[in-house]
């Protein structure tokens, strides 16, 4: 069973439907016991960094997230679910994250009249290391993004893919059982479904 963490923010139903479409059973939950029993865990996210951290704390979900990652369960962070894994984010001031990974979440800043913020729409990935979850996805495939902030890991070796948007930003990270992406696989059609199918099959 894949536990999709429900902390009151995010497009949870579309993620659940995408997993079901590729044959994986999921549940939307904020129960630590259900997360502990799950074989896989997904941390989605849409919204503001500090609001999401506050909700995770209020629902008692911070320890279950850390425990699932320490136990080696396949863990997927999506969009803000990637950003929350880092030390701190600068949205609406500087706020602590889950600190699973060292690094900061920063805002795109461009000269007036240059690129728009948020970065919204389809963009490509450059793979910087072998990535089993993308093994069935052709090079040059497009994924869907919508975000104003991006992660800057202290350890560049965490980067699994990068994407160009004014800067070459880290668009996904991988460490052992942990994979997290800035793009939305549930909105990325065939390529995104292939990633979710591969994640659900991980052991």
Catalytic residues: 79, 184, 186
189-201 helix and 12-21 helix, angle to the nearest 10 degrees: 80
Q: How far apart are CA 13 and CA 63, in angstroms?
A: 24
The length of the chain is: 203
Q: How far apart are CA 118 and CA 125, in angstroms?
A: 18
Cβ neighbours of 202 (radius 10 Å): 15
Tokens at 76, concatenated? 């997927």
Cβ neighbours of 164 (radius 10 Å): 12
β-strand pairing of 101-107 with 86-89: parallel
Q: How far apart are CA 59 and CA 116, in angstroms?
A: 35
């Amino acid at each position: 069973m894949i536990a999709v963490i429900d902390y009151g923010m995010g497009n949870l139903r579309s993620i659940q439907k995408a997993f079901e479409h590729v044959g994986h059973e999921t549940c939307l939950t904020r129960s630590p016991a259900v997360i502990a029993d799950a074989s896989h865990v997904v941390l989605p996210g849409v919204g503001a960094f500090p609001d999401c951290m506050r909700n995770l704390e209020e629902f008692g979900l911070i320890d279950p997230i850390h425990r699932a990652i320490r136990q080696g369960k396949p863990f997927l962070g999506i969009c803000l679910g990637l950003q929350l894994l880092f030390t701190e984010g600068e949205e609406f001031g500087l706020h602590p994250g889950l600190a699973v990974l060292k690094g900061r979440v920063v805002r795109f800043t461009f000269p007036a009249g240059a690129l728009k913020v948020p970065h919204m729409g389809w963009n490509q990935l450059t793979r910087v290391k072998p990535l089993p979850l993308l093994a069935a996805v052709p090079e040059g495939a497009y994924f869907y993004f919508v975000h104003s902030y991006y992660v800057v890991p202290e350890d560049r070796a965490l980067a699994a893919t990068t994407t160009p948007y004014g800067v070459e930003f880290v668009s996904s990270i991988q460490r052992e059982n942990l994979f997290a992406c800035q793009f939305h696989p549930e909105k990325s059609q065939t390529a995104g479904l292939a990633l979710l199918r591969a994640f659900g099959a991980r052991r």
